[in-house]
Amino acid sequence: MTVPVDGHLPPEVQALPLEISVYAQPENSIGYLLRMGFRGFSTMLERKTSTHGVSSGQWRFLRQLWIEDGPTQRELSVRVGMREPTTVVAVNSLVKSGLAVREPSVEDRRKVHIRLTPLGRSLQATLLPMVADVNDRATKGLTKAEIATLLRLLRHINGNMAQELEQIGGDAVP
Confirm if 65 and 116 have CB atoms less than 8 A apart.
yes
What digits encode the pLDDT tens for the residues 45-72?
999 999 999 998 899 999 999 999 999 9
Most confident of 9-13, 107-111, 133-137: 133-137
Whole-angstrom distance, CA of residue 82 vs CA of residue 174: 10
What digits encode the pLDDT tens for the residues 85-104?
999 999 999 999 999 999 99
Confirm if 68 and 101 have CB atoms less than 8 A apart.
no
Does the pTM of the predicted model rise above 0.85?
A: no
What digits encode the pLDDT tens for the residues 2-11?
545 555 778 8
Confirm if 18 and 5 have CB atoms less than 8 A apart.
yes
* Mean of all residue pLDDT scores within the chain: 89
